[in-house]
Amino acid sequence: MSDTEATERPSTAGMYDYYLGGTANTPAERAACEHLLSIIPEVSQTAWANRGFLQRAVKAMAKDWGINQFLDIGAGLPTQRNTHDVVADFRSDGRVVYVDHDPRVVERGLALLGGVDNVAVLQGDVRRPKEILNHPETRRLIDFSRPVGVLLVAVIHFVPDSDDPWGLVREYMEAVPSGSYLALSSGTGDKQAARLNNAAAEAYKNSASPAANRNYAQISKFLDGLEIVPPYEGAEPVLTYVGQWGAEDPEAADDEGSRWAYAAVAKKP
């Protein structure tokens, strides 16, 4: 893809950055976001809810469950409170490998994070697990004999059914040992009107990575064989809306933006 094409065609990373108030986005990405926000104003809430889920899940892994090494796949542009920032609040021995398929994301990540100890940024496609898992930078930082936090946050909905996203998640989790955790969030249209689902699909259709909203059963299938962690105090161990996971007030967190994605954290037995 040429530089011109990359600028003119909105990327999902740039759109996500815009929703979060970042500046690493192009005119095409801003236009696509503004169009979608004019139809579905709560989309920016969804982005923030998803970012909050990532941060709370990483905090739980690092602080409460003893995880110090993380593989953040589909990490997107470095933005508000990244994975390594959260880990550093609770562990001095944290190691994080960020992976994204977008060269612009990798370039910016290397510029911002290249000097950070025990952090690597590499280009990789979520659909090619072996290339990511066997990458020299991954092998340098991640010890696969010890538990790993695998983060697939707001990325698996960009993998179409034809590429077997369920098999991909399984392959990542087969590569890590017992005691590892998966944090996963994925877009859904379960509680949305058809016209809103269509508007969301149309907005991402022309992006570099069209999205596929999946239902509760389809997203739950990603967690097969894993032990789901209760998403908040008093809850059953089930999939929940993205804003509710780890929320102090789950009822208040159950807003329109949160209902655009499901999330879960699950342990490999």
Give the model's pLDDT for residue 104: 84
Q: Is 50 helix (H, G, I), strand (E, B) or coil?
A: helix
Give the model's pLDDT for residue 231: 97
Domain span at residue 135 reads 3-267
Q: Inter-axis angle of helices 27-39 and 12-19, to 10 degrees?
A: 60
Structural Rg of the chain based on CA atoms: 17
Q: Which residues of the chain have pLDDT under 70?
A: 1-7, 80, 192-210
Query: What does pTM read for this prediction?
Result: 0.86
Give the model's pLDDT for residue 131: 98
Give the model's pLDDT for residue 61: 98
Q: Please, which residues have CB within 8 angstroms of residue 57's CB and are 6 or more apart in sequence?
A: 151, 153, 181, 183, 245, 246, 263, 265
The residue type of 99 is: V
CATH number where 8 lies: 3.40.50.150
DSSP state for residue 261 in the 8-state scheme: E
- Give the number of domains in the chain: 1
